[in-house]
Amino acid sequence: MTNWKDRVPYAYWKGNPHVASTRQNLLQCNVTSEKDWNTRLYIQDWVKESTEGYKKSSLGNQCTHRYKIYIEGWAWSVSEKYILACDSMTLYVRPNFYDFFIRGMDPLQHYWPIRDNSKCTSLKFAVEWGNKHADRAQAMGEAASKFIQEDLDMNNKVHGRVNGEVS
């Protein structure tokens, strides 16, 4: 994995925007000649990927940016745990559906919450904050990765945790 401080200092997302309006809306936050929201957003072409052997879709090879955007699709996205395990600070767009383990994670400790109704300004602010407070942003990414790798375990009662206490 790329060393955190050597990573691209922008928020990264790659996925299918056609499965949810919130993802289509996210594309308005992509860099243009007029505006830079500190994001780099890419459309995943699954048909092309399937014919080329999925060479450009490996989630492990996408850990090259300091910030990774998680945004759900039709429901929760299978990529959530991979994004959180990337050591990048996860920019977590407020979802409608929650995976069971997210209740064991804390905002601003494991991820940075992004408002769905003002994604672009929220993303820009988060990246600017992270670049000004690189050590804290890196620590947030590492905390999420550690949680996914060590605490997300069938023997751990993550699903029963309330306010840090196991119930």
The predicted pLDDT at position 76 comes to 65
Q: Is the Cα dihedral 72, 132, 29, 60 positive or negative? A: negative
Residues in the chain, overall count: 167
Backbone angles phi, psi at 90, to 5 degrees: -80, 125
* Domains within the chain, CATH numbers bracketed: 4-162 (3.40.50.2000)
CB atoms within 10 A of CB 78: 10
pLDDT tens-digit readout, 47-62? 777 777 766 666 667 7
Mean pLDDT confidence for 121-149: 97
For the chain, helix, strand, coil in percent to 5 are 45, 20, 35
